[in-house]
């Protein structure tokens, strides 16, 4: 988890410097299950730059 938090923090800094709104996925399971991507109209951009409708895909 520490490595994930470090990577997320670097991503937050890079997004802030680029003027990009960044919302990262959760790292722990939630009891309430829903798809934020559908509910909020979001997309996931993978580390290779590809856009996906969901981070599970």
pLDDT 10s digits, 1-57: 889 899 999 999 999 999 999 988 887 776 777 777 777 877 888 889 888 877 665
pLDDT at position 57 is 53
pLDDT at position 10 is 95
Count: domains in the chain? 1
Q: Is 33 a member of any domain?
A: yes
Are 44 and 25 contacting, i.e. CB atoms less than 8 angstroms apart? yes
Domain residues for the domain of 18 are 2-52
User: What's the chain's Rg over C-alpha atoms?
Assistant: 12
Q: For residues 45 and 27, give the distance between their C-alpha atoms in angstroms, rounded to a whole number.
A: 16
Are 44 and 51 contacting, i.e. CB atoms less than 8 angstroms apart? yes
pLDDT at position 56 is 64
* Strand residues in the chain grouped as ranges (E): 44-45, 51-52
Q: Is 57 a member of any domain?
A: no
């Amino acid at each position: 988890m520490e490595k994930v938090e470090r990577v997320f923090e670097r991503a937050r800094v890079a997004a802030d410097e680029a003027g990009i709104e960044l919302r990262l996925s959760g790292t722990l399971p939630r009891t309430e299950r829903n798809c934020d991507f559908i509910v909020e109209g979001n997309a996931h951009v993978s580390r290779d730059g590809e856009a996906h409708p969901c981070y599970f895909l």
